[in-house]
Structure 1
Amino acid sequence: MVTPIDPTSAAFLLAENRSQPMHVGGLQLFENPEGAGRGYTRRMYEAMTDVAEVRPLFLKHPHRSLSTAGQLVWREDEQFDLEHHVRHSALPKPGRIRELLNLCGRLHSTRLAWERPLWESTVIEGLRDGRVALYTKTHHALLDGISAMRLMQSVLSTDPDQRDMPAPWGVRPEHSRTPEPAADVPADLFRHALSTGLGLTAEAAGLPAALIRTLNAGVRNETSAVSFHAPRTIFNERITGSRRFAAQDWPIERLRAIGKASGATINDVVLAMCSGAVRQYLLELGELPQAPLVAMVPVGLNAKQSHVASADGGNAVGAVMCRLGTDLDDPAARLATIQQSMSDGKVALSSMTPLQIVAMSALGQAPAILPPLLRLQGIVRSPYNLIISNVPGPRTTHYWNGAKMVGTYPLSIPINGMALNITCTSYDGKMGFGLTGCRRTVPHLQRLLIHLDAEVSALEKAVGA
C-alpha cells in the first residue's frame, strides 16, 4: 500500500542529514514486578517482540522513485523484521545512570534508514539498582513528541496486576484498541482551513493585519511569534551528528510552591530554571552574551472562534519567543521577566484565529527551519537561541504488565544553529527534564543538571517558597 507523505512530514525527511538526524526519542525507567526473578528483562524483551500484529503506523517507510514521479510516499515494508527494530542491550559496569545516559546519547546519534520503518526501540538492562530501561526513537515525520508520548501511555495501565498490555507497536485487542496517534494540531488546522473555502477566505483576510502586528512587536523587541533580537551564543553554531543526553527530575510540588509564591505558572518556573541554569553554564565557559537569550516555547491556547476552529473549542498551538532574562543576576527578576514575556506572547497569539497562529508561528520559526532544508546554514541568523518545551504526561503511577514506570524523559532534535534542546514532561508528581545537545558544540552538557538543581533552590529562596 502506497500513500502520499504530507508536506510537513516530507520537510522533516528532506531536512535530515548526518549532522542532524530528525527523530525524537523517549527514555522510560521501570521497576521489576514483585518476584520477577533474574530473567525478567529477557522476558520483557521477548514480550516486546512477541507481537501477533504490528500497527500499520510502524510498518511504513518513505520511498520515492520514477514510479512515484519523484514524490515522497509511504510504502509498507514487505520484508518487515521486528527483531531489527526491537533490540536488547546491557550496560557496562558499574551500571550507573551515567552509563545509561551515555548509551542513550549514542543511540540517539544514528540516523534511521529510509529502507525500513522509521523507528527503533531498545530494552536495556544492567542498572545496578535492578531497574529496566526502554529507549525508543521515532522519526518526526512519523510521530511528533506529543503523539509518541500518547502512544506510550496508551499501552500502560494504572493497574499493577494487569498483564495483557501489548508493546507500543502491537495492535491491541478490539475491546481496548486506541486510535492511531493524531497528527499535530497546527497541520490539522491548516489542512482543515484549506478544505473550507469560506473559512480560508475569512482567515486569510486577517493575515496581513496579524503579520503587521507580529512584525511590529518583533521589531520593538516585544514578545511575539517572531524574534529579531536573539544574541549569538555557542548554541547557535554548526553541529555534528554526535549527541549527549542528560536527564533528571524534580518534585512538581517544589515548582508549584515557587509559582504560588510568585504568581507564576509551573511552565514559567520551568523556563526560569532553564534560564538560570543556561546563564550559569555560559558564565562558566566565559560565553554569556550581554543581551538576554531568547527561547522558542510551544504553547497551547484557546484561539478566537472562527470558521476553521476545531469542534472541541478551537484549541491551537503556537510558538512564543520568550526572553529568558539571562542578563539579570537575580533569580526572582529572571522569573518576573519570563512571566511578563510569556503573558505578552499568549495575549498576542490569543487575538488571532487558528490559521493566523499557525502562519505567524511558522514565520517566526522559518529562519531556523529553512536553512537546514535549503542548506543555507550560516547565512541566515538564528531567530532564537534554544527550544524549551513542556509536555504534560500522566499524573498517576502507570505500569506495563506489572512493571512500574518510575521515570520518563524525552530526547529531542538539535539542528544546525540550534545545538541545545530542552524538553520536559510531567509524570506522577515529578517534572522530568531531558536535555539533548550536540556532543561537540555543547561541552559538559551534564553540568546543566547541577545548575538546574541549584536554580530550584535559588528560586525558592528568592520568592520565599
Structure 2
Amino acid sequence: MVQPLDPTAAAFLLAENRRMPMHVGGLQLFEKPEGAGRNFVHDLYTQFRESDDIAPLFLKHPVRSVRTGGQYVWREDDEFDIEYHVRHSALPKPGRVRELLELCSRLHSTRLAIERPLWEWHLIEGLRDGRVAMYAKLHHALVDGVSAMRLLQSILTSDPDRAGMPAPWESKPTTAKAREVREEAERSLSDVPLQAMRAALGISAEAAGLPGALIKTLSKSLRNETSALALYAPRTILNQPITAARRFAAQDWPLERLRAVGRATGTTLNDVVLAMCSGAMRTYLLELDALPDTTLVSMVPIGLRAKESHIASAHGGNALGSVMVKLGTDLVDPAERLRAVHESMVDGKRALAEMTPVQILAMSALGQAPAILGPMLRMGGVVRPPYNLIISNVPGPRTTQYFNGMRLLGTYPLSIPIDGMALNITCNSYADQMAFGLTGCRRTLPHLQRLLTHLDTELTALEHATGV
C-alpha cells in the first residue's frame, strides 16, 4: 500500500542530515512490581519481540524513486524485522541516572534508517536501584511531538494489576476510544501550519483579514514588543551550526511548588516554567560569559481548541499557534523576570485573541518559517535567529499510571535541536510532578547538565522573591 507524505512530513525528511536527526523521543522510568523475579525485564522483552500484530503506523517507511516522480511516499515494509526495532540494553556500572541519560544522549544522536519504519524502542535495565527504563524515538515525519507524547501515554493504564498489556506498536482493540487514540497518533499535526500558510496567501477566505493583523504584528515587532513574529532576538551561542552529538538532561520538580509561586503572583503554571528557564539560561550564559545585553526570545507553542477552526477540526486534533515570548534574561531580579514573562505572554495571547484561529496558524507559520527554511536551505547559523530557543509544555496524565504492573515514576521528553537552534526545552507534567527535558548539541552547549542545577536554584529564588 502506497500513501503520499504530506508536504510538511516530507520537509522533515529533506531537512534531515547527519548533524540534524529529525526524531522526537521519550524516556519513561518504571518501578518493577512487588515480587518481580530476576528475569522480569527479559521476559518483558521476549513478549515485545514476539509481537506479530503490528499497527500500520509502525510498518510504513518513506521511499522515493522514478516511479513516485521523485516524491516521498509511505510504503509498508515487506521485510519488517521486529528485532531491529525493539532492543534490550543494560547500563554499565554503577548504573546511576547519569549513565541512563548518557545512553539516551547517544541513542538520540543517531539517525533512524530511512529504509525501515522510522522508530525504535529500547528496554533498559541495570539501574542500581532496580528501576526499569524505556526510551523510544519516532521520526517527526511519522508523528509530531504532541502525537508522540499521546502515543506513549496510550499504552498506560491506571490499573496496577493489569498484566499482559499489548506492546506499544501492536494493533489495539478497535473500540471507539482506542481508534481515536491510534488515528490521532498516526495523524501528524505538523501539516496544519502549512495549510494555514496557504490560507495566509489568500487561498482561504477566512484568512482575508490577515494583512491587517500582519501589519499590526509587524508594527509590534518593530517596537520590540511581544508578538507572533520576532525581529529582535539576539544572536547567542544557541544560534549557530550544530554537530550530530546530543546531550540530554532531565529532572522533575513537585508541581505544587510551581503552582504556589503562581498563586502568590497571579501568574500561570506555564509562566513559572518559563521564568525558571529564563533564570537558568541567564545563569548558564553568565558562566560562559555569553549573556547578551538584550533579552532572549523563546517560541512558546499555544494550543487551539479544534472546534474553533475548520482547519483544526478537519484534522481531528488540537492545532498549534505560537507566541514569541521575551524571557527577561536581561533582568537581575527573579520576580521581575517572572513579571516580564507573564506580561509578555498576556500581551501575546491578547494579540492572538484578535485573530481567527486560521489567522493564528498562518501567523505562526510565518513566524517559524525562518527556523524551518534555514535547515532546509542549509542556512542555519547564517540568517538572524527568529527566536533563541523553544520552550514547550505538554500536559501528561494527572494520575499514577502503570504498564504491565510496573508503576510509572516519571516521563521525560526528548526533542530536536537544529542548526541555529541548539537547545530545545520540553516540559511534561505527570501526576504531581513537572519534568523538564533538555535536548542540546553536545559541542555547542558545554556542560548542559548544569542547567538542571540552575533550574532548581531559580525555583528556590522565585519562592523566596515571592514569599512562598
1:218 to partner: Cα distance: 1.1
1:193 to partner: Cα distance: 10
Q: Which residue of 247, 250, 253 corresponds with 1:250?
A: 253
Aligned residue in 2 for 1:60: 60
Aligned residue in 2 for 1:337: 340
1:303 to partner: Cα distance: 8.9
1:324 has 2:334 as partner: no
Q: Which residue of 348, 352, 355 corresponds with 1:352?
A: 355
Aligned CA distance change for structure 1 residues 181 and 219 (closer, same or farther; 3 Å): farther
TM-score of the superposed pair, with normalisation by structure 1: 0.95
TM-score of the superposed pair, with normalisation by structure 2: 0.95
Measure, in 2, the Cα distance between the counterparts of 1:32 and 1:322. Answer: 41
Aligned residue in 2 for 1:409: 412
Deviations 1:409-449 (A, max 9, x none): 00000000100100000001100100000000000000000
Measure, in 2, the Cα distance between the counterparts of 1:255 and 1:86. Answer: 37
Deviations 1:167-221 (A, max 9, x none): 11111234573332423556358659979xxx95431311211211221111111
Aligned CA distance change for structure 1 residues 2 and 306 (closer, same or farther; 3 Å): closer
Deviations 1:122-175 (A, max 9, x none): 100000000000000000000111111111211111000111321111112345
1:187 has 2:188 as partner: no
The SS at the match of 2:62 is strand
Give runs of aligned pairs for residues 354-393 of structure 1, distance below 5 A: 354-393=357-396
Instruction: Name the Cα RMSD after superposition.
Output: 2.1
Measure, in 2, the Cα distance between the counterparts of 1:375 and 1:189. Answer: 21
1:49 to partner: Cα distance: 1.8
1:224 to partner: Cα distance: 1.1
Deviations 1:283-306 (A, max 9, x none): 111111110100111012459956
1:52 to partner: Cα distance: 2.7
Q: Which residue of 296, 299, 315 corresponds with 1:296?
A: 299
The SS at the match of 2:98 is helix
Measure, in 1, the Cα distance between the counterparts of 2:447 and 2:139. Answer: 27
Aligned residue in 1 for 2:240: 237
The SS at the match of 1:310 is helix
1:379 to partner: Cα distance: 3.0
Measure, in 1, the Cα distance between the counterparts of 2:251 and 2:196. Answer: 39
Aligned residue in 2 for 1:6: 6
Deviations 1:25-53 (A, max 9, x none): 00000100111111111112122222130
Measure, in 1, the Cα distance between the counterparts of 2:305 and 2:67. Answer: 44
- Structure 2 residue runs without a partner (length 5+): none
| Conservation of the 8 A alpha-carbon contact between 1:424 and 1:431 | yes
Give runs of aligned pairs for residues 36-75 of structure 1, distance below 5 A: 36-75=36-75
1:156 has 2:159 as partner: no
The SS at the match of 1:147 is helix
The SS at the match of 1:384 is coil
Aligned CA distance change for structure 1 residues 6 and 441 (closer, same or farther; 3 Å): same
User: Which moved further from structure 2: 372-381 or 82-91?
Assistant: 372-381
Measure, in 2, the Cα distance between the counterparts of 1:462 and 1:88. Answer: 47
User: Which moved further from structure 2: 379-388 or 295-304?
Assistant: 295-304
Aligned residue in 1 for 2:442: 439
Measure, in 1, the Cα distance between the counterparts of 2:90 and 2:317. Answer: 46
- Structure 1 residue runs without a partner (length 5+): none
1:206 has 2:209 as partner: yes
| Conservation of the 8 A alpha-carbon contact between 1:219 and 1:228 | yes
Aligned CA distance change for structure 1 residues 129 and 304 (closer, same or farther; 3 Å): closer
Aligned residue in 2 for 1:87: 87
Aligned CA distance change for structure 1 residues 112 and 71 (closer, same or farther; 3 Å): same
Deviations 1:244-286 (A, max 9, x none): 0000000000000000000110000000000000100011111
Measure, in 1, the Cα distance between the counterparts of 2:206 and 2:415. Answer: 32
